[in-house]
Amino acid sequence: MSSEREPVSHFIRTIVQDDLQSGKHPTITTRFPPEPNGYLHVGHAKSICLNFGLAQDFGGQCNLRFDDTNPEKESEEYALSIQEDVRWLGFQWAGEVHWASDYFETLYGYAVELIRSGKAYVCDLTPDEMRDYRGTLTAPGRNSPYHERSVEENLDLFGRMRKGEFADGSKVLRAKIDMASPNINLRDPAIYRIRRAHHIRTGDQWCIYPMYDYTHCISDALEGITHSLCTLEFEDHRPLYDWVLDNITIPCHPRQIEFSRLELQYTLTSKRKLNQLVTDKLVSGWDDPRLPTITGMRRRGYTSEGIREFARRIGISKSDNVIDMAVLEGCIREDMEARVPRVMAVVQPLKVVLTNFEAGLTQSREAGFHPNHPEFGSRDVPIAREIWIEADDFSETPPPGWQRLTPGGEVRLRYSYVIKCDEVVKDVAGEVVELRCSIDHDTLGKNPQGRKVKGVIHWLSAQHALPAEIRLYDRLFTVAAPDSDKDKDFRDFLNPASLSVVQGWVESCVKDVAPETRYQFERLGYFCADRRDHQPGERLVFNRAVGLKDAWSKPVA
């Protein structure tokens, strides 16, 4: 897969092009503004690729800004993980990391300006009362009893809110817009609330915090953002975004543009629900390879290049963006096909004894790590009297078209000889535990005389292979849309077979590879040395990233 694909045209790209060509903006500035209250997921990856990608393509810049206005749910751990994810995806923000808390004093000053101009007031309604006064989608709201407080009283109360004279939740500062507006977001929304919570950056300096809708647009303007890109759920918030900027003295007015969020089948892109899975210990953590978090996908073995190609391929639009998991896995598979070395591994070992093996006569062969990349080098593939093959590569009663090993049948060992199964050994329960086979010594690197052997299987020398923990991942949920059933909790659809851990064997050449090293295990799929548990030379742990073929069309067993 080429690392430099032609950008896909979409409506936001067209807007940016028109703005630059018309001279509206000499350059563009975008931003990626996550809240540090969890780990990023594949939906965020789409947004990262959009915001950073547009800035790169048009010679502009993209800021990383944390929306840290909700101190009770935010942490330094999340902030650091977000920075690592952005870098791992291949992007770098302009200058220093920005924080909404950088602007707390400025935001407070603009709130005072709104109060002075009669466009904000302090309200004492309880949350339940405020909901009642707000009205419904079909009925207009009513003005708060505190709607007509004087400028002087509002300034006094807001200053005392900041000083901590009132209890949490007892008062809020509201924008004075229109309680009869058909857009509920404009019915005097709260822009400040009292909340005594320790902040990860400002500590206990503040006991009032600005609301997201108020903070975001001003932060954009202060940073000179030209195009503020967000998902469609913020479309109804755009009039409030514009109202705030139109009613304060700020020179920059960014344009908010919305696009559809990503919904990936057989998983979730709700940070709240992902947090539930982690908190309930239904997964091993935010980096569990079954999760669609960026850190989870990375640990599973997905490549950043493949994820970027996925974001490019699914495109940007305002229509529903429900994507089959096969599209993501296809991008990962295509990327690794060209770039990842190949070795052999056995994940369901069946012992084979080569009865006519002769030391000195039976020879090993050298094999390249990739058929199309000789520069990857090669390694010796040793053979011994006892070897491991995949249990699935033997059948006593083979189906039609079977080209692997059967009693009395022949098959070629990859990079080695043709062998024939002469005897099947079973245990007391009747299970096959060993095969006894003979080598055709005239078939090393050439076809047998007078007959054709079609099947080729992978294998390992039992004497030389290394034990490895192999983690086989399947879809996390048994249904495509686990959070769409109104009568069931999404956790009811968890797939109990989403992880299978087996003891397998790998070639000795992978003994000292570093965590996150990827291989194609021939005929099995693409695997990655686990970035947490893999210990080079000591404990080998490989995660299956994707199979060699699309398995998503098959139902969950």
- Domain 103-214 coded CATH 3.90.800.10: yes
- The active-site residue, picked from 176, 187, 271, 300, is 271
Q: Where in the chain is the domain with CATH 3.90.800.10?
A: 103-214
- Indicate the fold that domain 11-102+215-260+301-322 takes in CATH: Rossmann fold (3.40.50)
- The active-site residue, picked from 119, 196, 261, 318, is 261
Output the tens digit of pLDDT for each of the chain's 557 residues. Answer: 444 577 889 999 999 999 999 999 999 999 999 999 999 999 999 999 999 999 999 999 999 999 999 999 999 999 999 999 999 999 999 999 999 999 999 999 999 999 999 999 999 999 999 999 999 999 999 999 999 999 999 999 999 999 999 999 999 999 999 999 999 999 999 999 999 999 999 999 999 999 999 999 999 999 999 999 999 999 999 999 999 999 999 999 999 999 999 999 999 999 999 999 999 999 999 999 999 999 999 999 999 999 999 999 999 999 988 999 999 999 999 999 989 999 999 999 999 999 999 998 999 999 999 999 999 999 999 999 999 999 999 999 999 999 999 999 999 999 999 999 999 999 999 999 999 999 999 999 899 988 999 899 999 999 999 999 999 999 999 999 999 999 999 999 999 999 999 999 999 999 999 999 999 999 999 999 999 999 999 999 999 999 998 654 555 54
Architecture of domain 341-464 in CATH?
Beta Barrel (2.40)
Q: Where in the chain is the domain with CATH 2.40.240.10?
A: 265-300+323-330+466-557, 341-464
Query: Distance (Å, rounded) from C-alpha 300 to C-alpha 473?
Result: 9
Q: Where in the chain is the domain with CATH 3.40.50.620?
A: 11-102+215-260+301-322
Report which of 170, 146, 167, 171 is spatially closest to residue 158, judged by C-alpha positions.
171
Predicted confidence (pLDDT) per residue in 525-557, tens digit: 999 999 999 999 999 999 999 999 865 455 554
User: CB of 500 within 8 A of CB of 428?
Assistant: no
Query: Distance (Å, rounded) from C-alpha 127 to C-alpha 226?
Result: 35
- Indicate the fold that domain 265-300+323-330+466-557 takes in CATH: Ribosomal Protein L25; Chain P (2.40.240)
HEC-encoded secondary structure of 76-125: HHHHHHHHHHHHHCCCCCCCCCEEHHHHHHHHHHHHHHHHHCCCEEEECC
Tell me, yes or no, if 74 is annotated catalytic: no
User: pTM for this one?
Assistant: 0.94
Tell me, yes or no, if 35 is annotated catalytic: yes
- The active-site residue, picked from 31, 35, 238, 342, is 35
Characterize the bridge pairing of strands 456-457 and 227-231: unpaired
Give the number of other Cβ atoms within 10 Å of residue 197's Cβ.
14
Alpha carbon separation from 247 to 100, 117, 303, 463, 483 (Å, rounded): 20, 9, 46, 77, 40
Tell me, yes or no, if 233 is annotated catalytic: no
Query: Distance (Å, rounded) from C-alpha 7 to C-alpha 30?
Result: 17
Query: Distance (Å, rounded) from C-alpha 443 to C-alpha 449?
Result: 9
